Amino acid sequence: MKFISTRGKSEVSCSAMAIAKGLAEDGGLFVPEIFPQVSKEEFETMLNMDYAERACLVLKKYLEEYDEQELLSACKNAYSKFEDSDAAPIVKIDENLFIMELFHGPTLAFKDVALTLLPYLLRKGCDISGIKEEVLILVATSGDTGKAALEGFKDADGIKIMVFFPSEGVSDMQKTQMCTQEGNNVNVVAVNGNFDDCQTAVKNIFSSKEFNDSLKEKNVILSSANSMNFGRLVPQICYYFSAYCDLVNSQEISMGDKVNFVVPTGNFGNILAGYYAKQMGLPIDKLVCASNSNNVLSEFFASGTYDANREFFKTISPSMDILISSNLERLIFELSGRDASLTEVRMLELKKCGKYSISEKEKSVLNAEFFANYADEMTCKQTIQEFFEEFGYVLDPHTAVAVDVRNCFVDYSGNNKPTVVLSTASPYKFAHDVLFSLKGKAPNDAFVASDKLALETALPVPEQILSLKSKERRFTRVIEKGETFNAVLDFIAK
């Protein structure tokens, strides 16, 4: 299967090359030439599979050149790192309301689902593509991707990884997780700015021919672990299928019934994976896009104009503190009828003016597939408190945003089909804010807050959090957003 760029000037012959490259040379994102279909017989087969086997079946639809038995072995190895080897367990909350817990992996965030598998996909992709150079992975993170990528790639042969994060734009626990990371091939640098500044800096590095030529002289090539890389995106498609199978197996739905998915959304990769799953035949009714106070996406869905020229808010759901949602480009490409020239014009308008608009016809298609809304800070905190009081379930701030938007969706549309809310992180990554939401006060120290949250909720503190207390903080460098090029050169010179 070919992979083509959303901007039309680049294509590769297979998924391995798309994954190895990360970003297309024309600045666009790789998308599959077609959406492969999952047959009725394959759906039935998946019902009796474990998570790794389901993932392999879905992945093989795109990763045609990867050996199936090797891929299955890689999936089993990746998901053995999750509690009960299940990357996406479903918890029933109430009639027609379910939460898919995506935080039982090594770093307690949904990014683990893809980033425990990506090292295999990338290394194998390089081998298939004949790439022998050392690979330097650059990551911009709003909190969770950084740690998950660092953990996934630590000490990987032939690969170095460097993560940039906004110095004051992640939670204390997220910062501690990244800055104590072990591994001889890793580097973490804080940037004075927000996530969009970090992401723009990384994109500029990828698009700089001069910089890339200088790396090649050092026998180094760039790749990405952000969801801009198709290898990060494709494993996320799998858990939509797995959730559906679990609902069928528990007799909550019958095969063929439509369900809704509600996704806390920042960079648009997680919900785009759901859109891809629907294009592959998964019976999804509505994809509900949930934003926080940085509600650029919900306004885009309402107006048809994407306008990043707005105030940036630092919130208690920092992984959604994003104004430039990179993966939206893939959806814009589809909405336009795969018009690469039009997509490129729009992305250039975004870069130059901070905004672009879609047509009324495209907006109509968009709203047929999606519903979007947002929850502000007060609503988010209130939802954490009320949900715990009613159900005894502890939400992290990102999932709380999704729960509130789900309620808005039901009230607005009357659509009360079985609905799965994607829970993207453990509440212990945001212990201070969750405890404050429940009690109206909380200690500033993240570890003390974790202990108090455990006493308040009887939810055990994960070992991944407890073990951080004794780890050395290895990375303390803080740079200005214009210094990222030099920071990368410093790292590869080591």
Active site residues: 111
CA 433, CA 429: separation in Å to the nearest integer? 9
CA 100, CA 89: separation in Å to the nearest integer? 6
3-state helix vs strand vs coil in the chain, percent to 5 = 50, 15, 35
User: Helix or strand or coil: residue 374?
Assistant: strand
CA 295, CA 100: separation in Å to the nearest integer? 23
CA 494, CA 489: separation in Å to the nearest integer? 9
List the structure tokens of 8. 């039309």
Per the DSSP assignment, residues forming a β-bridge with 136 are: 160, 222
Cα of first residue to Cα of last residue in the chain, in angstroms, is 38
Q: How far apart, in Å, are the Cα atoms of 174 and each of 38, 169, 448?
A: 37, 10, 15
Beta-strand ranges (E) seen in 71-219 are 90-94, 97-101, 134-140, 159-166, 186-192
Q: Is the Cβ–Cβ distance between 38 and 280 less than 8 Å?
A: yes
